[in-house]
Amino acid sequence: MREFKILIVDDNLDNIRVIANILKANPKYNFLYATNAQETFERTKEYRIDLMLLDIMMSPVDGYNIARTLKKDPNTKEIPIIFISAKSDNESILEGFLSGGVDYISKPFNPFELEARVDNQIRIRIAQEEKMMSVQSEIIDIIATLGEEQSIGTSSKHIQRVTRYATLLARLAKLPQKQIDEIELATPLHDIGKIVIDQEILNKQDKLSLEEFNKIKTHPAVGYEIFKDSPRDLLQAASIIAHEHHEAFDGSGYPRGLKGNAIHIYGRIVAIADVFDVLTTKRAYKEAWSLEKAKEYIELERGSKFDPDLVEIFVDHFDQFEKIYKKYN
């Protein structure tokens, strides 16, 4: 289950303790602390904060000004801020909302009230995230379908299987749930860059010439270009996967010849999933390999083409990959 990071900002440590003690009843809440503006900005740079509880009377920079600064920065402007203050006059409360707060709690407060208001903001946060994910995955579906209709030489079955293998590998590698979701939703676009390559080359039955192969090799960079400027997490993931799924662990891959962990974990995972599927299915230019032979090949390329740790996981749980193969072939 996803955890939520709550940043409590107060120049008085006792106040922070009181708030954390009330809210820790919810096991999904994780707490971070800051006692001044500088620490607050450090935390928001370092962590992805889900909610901030912000005191007002602090020096030299007060809570209102901290909020205004955060709202001006595209990286932090989405963080919901609840002001908590001993000031309970109308003007102070208004100032709280004007400086970007989503809620205002005056002290002394009732613990239930604090809990309820925090829970509300977190619920809104979850709903927004779900909406975002579903909008993005809809966009991805549309683009992936467009790609299929253009017959980019990548069948929908290939896309399905690669996505399933990659998601399974991500889960077995114990990636955080958010990353597993991103791999599952963005992998269908790994070959979308082929959309700019001539049909003739993509569907060619004979061996490709060097020139034709070089054309095909442009697809990772094209896929990357399509999504690279999107601020959306899922489309960023699509851009990384498109760009890095043909990189090799020893630096012999393309387009950039990245090495080892310089290749994003998404790229390293999809590389194994993609090659495994290409090997085990029939192509115009080759017969399908047996599962055993494909597994041996991947083991052989441990540390050269593929991330050695991921190969180990893949081999150790091979029966699960076999199951997907049987189900989707």
Which window, 232-240, 254-262, 274-282, 305-313, contacts Fe ion (CB under 5 A)? 274-282
Q: Which is nearer to Fe ion, 43 or 158 (CB)?
A: 158
Nearer to Fe ion, 109 or 255 (CB): 255
274 part of the interface to Fe ion, by CB under 5 A: yes
Look up residue 290 and give its DSSP letter: P
Piece of 129-137, 189-197, 221-229, 283-291 that binds Fe ion (CB under 5 A):
189-197
The answer to whether residue 204 is catalytic is no
Dihedral angle over CA of 177, 183, 186, 188, nearest 10: -140
Interhelix angle 318-328/156-172, rounded to 10 degrees, is 160
At which residue do the structure tokens 């270009």 appear?
225
Helix (H) / strand (E) element for 102: namely none
**Minimum CB–partner distance for residue 112 and Fe ion (Å):** 54
Q: How many chain residues interact with Fe ion (CB under 5 A)?
A: 2
Closest CA to 315 of 292, 299, 293: 299
Cα dihedral 252, 253, 255, 259 in deg (nearest 10): -70
Choosing from 28, 45, 71, 194, the catalytic residue is 194
Q: Which amino acid is at 148?
A: E
Stretch that binds Fe ion, among 73-81, 90-98, 190-198, 300-308 (CB under 5 A): 190-198
| DSSP-assigned letters across all residues of 196-251 | GS-HHHHT--SPPPHHHHHHHTTHHHHHHHHHTT--SHHHHHHHHHHHHTT--TTS
- CB of 33: closest distance to Fe ion in angstroms? 46
* DSSP structure class, residue 288: P
Least distance from Fe ion to the Cβ atom of residue 158, Å: 6
In the complex, the smallest distance separating the C-beta of residue 219 from Fe ion, rounded to whole angstroms, is: 6
Using the minimum distance from each CB to Fe ion, give the nearer residue, 184 or 274: 274
Q: Is 9 helix (H, G, I), strand (E, B) or coil?
A: strand
What is the nearest approach in angstroms of Fe ion to the Cβ of residue 159? 8
Q: Does 247 bind Fe ion (CB under 5 A)?
A: no
Which listed range, 36-44, 47-55, 247-255, 270-278, lies at the site for Fe ion (CB under 5 A)? 270-278
Region binding Fe ion by CB under 5 A among candidate stretches 100-108, 228-236, 267-275, 295-303: 267-275
> Helix, strand, or coil here: 285?
coil
Nearest distance, CB of residue 283 and Fe ion, angstroms = 11
From the list 101, 98, 69, 63, the residue with the least C-alpha distance to 82 is: 101
If the CB atoms of residues 10 and 274 are measured against Fe ion, the closer one turns out to be: 274
Show the tokens assigned to 204. Answer: 């060619």
Q: What is the DSSP string of 53-95?
A: EEES--SSS-HHHHHHHHHHSTTTTTS-EEEEES--SHHHHHH
Q: Does residue 307 bind Fe ion (CB under 5 A)?
A: no
Determine which residue in the list 184, 191, 244, 247 makes contact with Fe ion, applying CB under 5 A: 191
Sheet with 81-85: strands ordered across: 29-34, 4-9, 51-55, 81-85, 103-106
| Residue with Cβ nearer Fe ion (184 or 191) | 191
Nearer to Fe ion, 50 or 274 (CB): 274
Nearer to Fe ion, 10 or 191 (CB): 191
Distance CA 290, CA 281 (A): 9
Q: Kindly state the smallest distance separating residue 74's Cβ from Fe ion, in Å.
A: 32
**Which residues form the catalytic set?**
194
Q: Which residues bind Fe ion (CB under 5 A)?
A: 191, 274
